[in-house]
Chains A and B, each alone.
Chain A
């Protein structure tokens, strides 16, 4: 999108939470560039500012200071509804606890972002069943999340994240709630997506998952402390 092909460009990003009595500076100046087709793992101990960074990357929150362009679009100073639109078109979320809506089917869950994206019902249905087949759940379209295993739920969530064909997939501890078998299945799925040319940002504790990334960004105490290729 931009000249040098970067999707995420952050410069001097600070985030300060002001609770009235105390000010907490969660991010103390982050400069981060993520190019198209990268698979980046963001690692760090809890309290390091990972989640805050993820919220900012995902446009769930806006920085207190600094510049952020997502796929060439300036995110600073937009309204809540515009932010929602950016999330809808540009970001596919995958959460640790899946965050599927429990009372609707897998198909309807995958359709949800497309509903917000203004895509017609017929096309929604077709695209939703197509992405669900791609993640190996073509047989489970009409199952509700409660009727699926953890691994299957995370596949539905990934299908949902893919449905709007976003610029980045943003995953927050995607294997954290899964047993090791399902976890490695999901990791393989992420690797496949990467090989298909998608951009992935994964926040994780899991060294196995970090090893599969093309780049590892370490964060500690609100600052990036290391940025390198994964250790072999």
Chain B
């Protein structure tokens, strides 16, 4: 064993003095492939993380429902009846489904005039519950707050603004503490939402609406029919069952078939986030395969060069065999050579890719529309493991086939003739 290793290393040492230029080219091919696979996977990973973050920015474990129409007959009543929940129904649902984390109603006033000084903006005003802030991730910028239970109880005229809307109304001024007019009624600005990139939305982006307490909304606009109902579960896997239970309760009150999914059409974000996750895994897989194929081309390059080397050294192989070299002493130096080229190329590629990924850290994400969706390319340990494995396999394959050919050389045939 020891002798074997010694012989193989000695032979490798003498043969690697040859063909410097080829070695450089081979290493470059592998390095290029490695950079390609790493960058593709890093972009995939960054995209995945960013999309995951963006997806969560609408809310986790929530389902949003619209007011629909029945599509099935129920107890003698025909289909096609509109179902319109009222603000008071929220109390009923909360009482019957105490296990829910929150039950939130939304009442919407479209194209409402919001005026500050001489500047008027037409936008969405939503009356909603206090729990909306947590459930829909409306986090206030420093110095502000979301609507509070007292605001709701006392029907205060306070407003929480989306960040884009705040910019539209106030320009460069600081909005918090200022008073603006909502349909000519004065409201105090209590908070502005922190910027977020949203993957999914309904009605419009969160950054472009204004939130007021639901009691205040009812008092000012005189409406108590909900536009949307939103429930939040403690755990994601509870959502299906809770939606079913909700339809039983609401269906019981309004008289519709609980299995009728058109009465209260729901957007189950738990379900759609699972879909998104699968799409992202698919995307990463695709990028990985593209990268692996690029790397494979590098591997084919190595194999090709090793083949040429074997062909060129046929006589040399024959001589070594005549002098008493065993098969493995012919094969292993070739395999070793291919593996060493691959490993050096791989190390070089990993270094370059890491540097490139590190460089992207200097591109600001905030305020960059492309980057806020693409995210930052990220090299994860798994990517490192996958790349190393692929490199190892390619190195071995690229060495094995040429080496097998080398060992099949017939010494008697090669020695005598030029």
A residues lining the B interface (CB < 8 Å): 51, 55, 58, 60-61, 80-81, 84-85, 87-89, 93, 95-97, 99-101, 103-104, 108, 112-113, 115-118, 160, 164, 172
Contact = CB atoms under 8 A, between A and B. Distances in A.
11 contacts: A84-B324, A84-B325, A84-B327, A85-B324, A95-B415, A97-B418, A103-B18, A108-B14, A116-B323, A116-B329, A118-B7
A81 B7 CA distance: 15
B17 A103 contact: yes
A103 B14 contact: yes
A78 to B, nearest CB: 13
Main secondary structure of the interface of B (DSSP, over half): helix
Interface in B280-323: 315-316, 318-323
Given A60-B412, A87-B324, 10 more contacts: A55-B412, A58-B322, A80-B327, A84-B326, A88-B323, A96-B416, A99-B319, A100-B319, A101-B14, A116-B320
A12 to B, nearest CB: 21
B322 A101 contact: no
A60 B3 CA distance: 23
Contacts of A101: 14, 316, 319-320
B5 to A, nearest CB: 12
Contacts of A115: 7, 10-11
B296 to A, nearest CB: 31
> What are the 10 A-B residue pairs with the smallest beta carbon separation, nearest first?
A88-B324, A60-B412, A116-B324, A55-B412, A81-B326, A113-B323, A99-B319, A118-B3, A87-B324, A61-B412
A19 to B, nearest CB: 13
Contacts of B316: 101
Given A60-B411, A101-B316, A103-B17, A93 B329 contact: no
Size band of the B side of the interface?
A: 20 to 34
A117 B324 contact: yes
Interface in B315-374: 315-316, 318-327, 329
A188 to B, nearest CB: 25
Interface of B: 3, 7, 10-11, 14-15, 17-18, 315-316, 318-327, 329, 411-412, 415-416, 418
Contacts of A89: 324
Contacts of B327: 80-81, 84
Given A95-B415, A99-B315, A116 B322 contact: no
Contacts of B322: 58, 60, 87, 93, 99
Contacts of B15: 103
Q: Which of B324, B326, B329 has the most CB of A within 10 A?
A: B324
Nearest to B329: A116
Contacts of B17: 103
Nearest to B318: A99
B308 to A, nearest CB: 16
Contacts of A164: 324
A89 B323 CA distance: 9
Contacts of B318: 99
A172 B323 CA distance: 15
Nearest to A173: B416
Contacts of B325: 84, 116
Nearest to A60: B412
Nearest to B416: A51
Given A51-B416, A172-B416, A160 B323 contact: yes
Contacts of B329: 116
Contacts of A87: 322-324
A84 B412 CA distance: 12
Nearest to B328: A81
Q: Which of B18, B323, B327 has the most CB of A within 10 A?
A: B323
Nearest to A172: B416
B352 to A, nearest CB: 32
Nearest to B324: A88
B323 A93 contact: yes
Nearest to B320: A112
Nearest to A99: B319
B377 to A, nearest CB: 44
Contacts of A95: 415-416
A101 B320 CA distance: 9
Q: Which of B18, B321, B415 has the most CB of A within 10 A?
A: B415
A135 B364 CA distance: 75
Contacts of A117: 324
Nearest to B15: A103
